[in-house]
């Protein structure tokens, strides 16, 4: 036990140092790489906060998928000139911003130290509700996401659909309907292909497992979907698969499947359980797993499409 506090402080210092390098690095690409490392380190902080679900999400999305997104973008931009005015901020402005940032951070830190003791918590309520509204789900976070705050969760899935539509709206008009450009033009290296072939079946199984056990153990629809998404991204990077056309009907349906099933179920809740977004207590758990299965599908499709970007002119297949 006596080593742990030092580990915590060391981890915190490392996270802050990598974050500082992300801000301070001269080259764009160095900054991007540093950010990806930062995302992975952060997952460890979450584990120390007894938040394995968040750690899984942070590792899969904050580190993994965001990493691919930013590195792809950094590479594409690196091949171009820097956009925006290439003026280095003056010393005065740097100093002023530094003071402002320090003040904000300081105020925030002192406020965090002033949080009330004993701390308020909804854990007792959540614990009490775990068998009724919580639908007998052993993982309280899944219960919160799918029952008490199901409305947030459905909205968040619609935000994903909207983000896909927003990314696609950045297409050049001539290219509309085609597929996004492949993740890389050149032939991938043999190890990449091998890795993708190896990972695809195993990763798919793990993804489904994470979703399935998420009802009772850390994991859940989002983490499972994100793992499946990562597998698809790796497969596309190895060019074992190509991004689909954005006007493909199956793609659109897969993207809205999760929120649509959620919405329809929310509507029927009024008639079968007396309230919108309520579940009949006896079958709550199977219904929740049913909705989650479609959410896994939507997430597994939405994240890669967000990373792939808008359709490009040269990619008609």
Partner 1 sequence: MELGTSTPGGYLLVLAILLPLAGIMLSFTLGGRNAERVALGSTPFGIVLACAIAFEVGQAGKPIVYTIGGLPPPLGIALRADGISAVMLVAAAVILAAAAFYARSKFATPDGVRESRSALTFWIMLQAIWAALIIIFVGGDLFNLYVALELLTFAAVPLVCIDGRPETLVAALRYLLFALFGSICYLLGVALFYGAHGTIDISLLAQRVQPTPVVWMAAALMTAGLLAKTALFPVHLWLPPAHANAPAAASAVLSGLVVKGSFFLTLRLWFFVLPALHTETAAVILGGLGSAAVIVGSVMALGQARLKLLVAYSTVAQIGYLFLVFPLASGGAQTWSAAGWSAGLMQVLAHAFAKAGMFLSAGVLAEALGHDRIGNLRGAARVLPLTFLTIALGGLSLMGLPPSGGFNAKWLMLQAAVASGQWFWTLPILVGGLLAAGYVYRILAPALSDGQVSLKVTPMRSQEVIALALTMAAIVLGFAPQAFLDFLEIGRPVTASSP
Partner 2 sequence: MNPSVIAGLTGATLVGLGLYGFILHPHPLRKLLAFNLIGSGVFLVFGIVARRGAAAGFRFDPVPQAMVITGIVVAFAASAVAVALILRLSAANSDLSLDPDARAEPSDGEGP
Per the structure block, which two tokens stand in for 213? 């056990």
Q: Alpha-carbon distance 298 to 11, whole Å?
A: 35
Cβ distance to partner 2 smaller for residue 166 or 177: 166
Do 45 and 210 form a contact (C-beta atoms < 8 A)? no
Q: Alpha-carbon distance 34 to 18, whole Å?
A: 6
Residue for token pair 């995302």:
39
The site partner of 69 among partner 1, partner 2, none (C-beta below 5 to 8 Å per kind) is partner 2
3-state SS class at 88: coil
Q: How far is the CB of 161 from partner 1 (least distance, A)?
A: 6
Which of 102, 151, 197, 290 is the binder for partner 1 (CB under 8 A)?
A: 151
Cβ distance to partner 1 smaller for residue 197 or 275: 275
- CB-facing half-sphere around the CA of 247: CA atoms within 13 A: 8
Which of 57, 66, 171, 235 is the binder for partner 1 (CB under 8 A)?
A: 171
Compute the C-alpha angle 44/230/32, nearest 5°. Answer: 60
Which of 92, 120, 191, 314 is the binder for partner 1 (CB under 8 A)?
A: 120
Q: How far is the CB of 24 from partner 2 (least distance, A)?
A: 8
Residue for token pair 């990077």:
237
- Residue partners of 240: CB distance under 8 A and separation at least 6: 193, 196, 197, 200
Interface with partner 1 in residues 278-307 (CB under 8 A):
278-279
Interface with partner 1 in residues 6-25 (CB under 8 A):
none
Is 149 one of the binding residues for partner 1 (CB under 8 A)?
A: yes
The site partner of 87 among partner 1, partner 2, none (C-beta below 5 to 8 Å per kind) is partner 2
Q: How far is the CB of 251 from partner 1 (least distance, A)?
A: 10
Q: Alpha-carbon distance 141 to 56, whole Å?
A: 13
Is 228 one of the binding residues for partner 1 (CB under 8 A)?
A: no
End-to-end CA distance of the chain: 58
List residues bridging with 180 in a β-sheet: 311
Per the structure block, which two tokens stand in for 130? 């775990």
Which of 27, 89, 99, 125 is the binder for partner 1 (CB under 8 A)?
A: 125
Per the structure block, which two tokens stand in for 45? 């902080």
State the burial class of residue 246 (Cβ atoms within 10 Å of its Cβ: 0-12, 13-18, 19+).
buried
Which of 5, 116, 191, 314 is the binder for partner 1 (CB under 8 A)?
A: 116
The count of chain residues that interact with partner 1, using the rule CB under 8 A, is: 61
The site partner of 317 among partner 1, partner 2, none (C-beta below 5 to 8 Å per kind) is none
Is 181 one of the binding residues for partner 1 (CB under 8 A)?
A: no
| Residues at the interface with partner 1 (CB under 8 A) | 107-108, 110-112, 114-116, 119-122, 125-126, 129, 133, 144, 147-152, 154-156, 158-159, 161-163, 165-166, 168-173, 176-177, 247, 249, 252-253, 255-256, 259-260, 263, 266-267, 269-270, 273-279
């Amino acid at each position: 036990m006596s080593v742990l506090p030092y580990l915590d402080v060391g981890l915190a210092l490392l996270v802050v140092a990598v974050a500082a390098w992300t801000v301070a690095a001269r080259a764009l690409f160095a900054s991007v790489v540093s950010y990806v490392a930062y995302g992975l380190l952060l997952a460890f902080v979450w584990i120390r906060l007894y938040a394995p679900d968040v750690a899984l999400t942070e590792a899969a999305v904050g580190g993994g998928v965001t990493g691919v997104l930013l590195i792809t973008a950094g590479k594409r931009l690196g091949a171009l000139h820097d956009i925006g005015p290439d003026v280095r901020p003056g010393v005065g402005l740097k100093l002023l911003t530094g003071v402002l940032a320090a003040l904000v951070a300081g105020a925030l830190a002192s406020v965090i130290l002033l949080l009330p003791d004993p701390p308020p918590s909804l854990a007792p309520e959540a614990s009490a509700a775990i068998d009724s509204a919580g639908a007998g789900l052993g993982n309280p976070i899944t219960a919160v996401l799918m029952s008490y705050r199901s409305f947030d969760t459905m909205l968040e899935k619609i935000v994903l659909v909207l983000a896909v539509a927003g990314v696609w709206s950045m297409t050049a008009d001539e290219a509309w309907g085609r597929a996004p450009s492949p993740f890389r033009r050149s032939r991938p290296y043999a190890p990449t292909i091998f890795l993708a072939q190896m990972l695809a079946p195993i990763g798919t199984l793990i993804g489904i497992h994470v979703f399935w056990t998420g009802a009772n153990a850390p994991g859940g629809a989002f983490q499972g979907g994100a793992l499946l998404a990562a597998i698809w991204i790796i497969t596309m990077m190895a060019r074992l698969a190509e991004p689909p056309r954005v006007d493909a009907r199956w793609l659109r349906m897969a993207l809205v499947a999760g929120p649509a099933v959620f919405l329809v179920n929310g509507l029927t809740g009024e008639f079968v359980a007396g309230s919108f977004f309520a579940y009949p207590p006896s079958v709550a758990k199977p219904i929740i797993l049913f909705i989650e299965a479609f959410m896994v599908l939507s997430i597994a499709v939405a994240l890669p499409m967000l990373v792939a970007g808008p359709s490009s002119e040269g990619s008609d297949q």
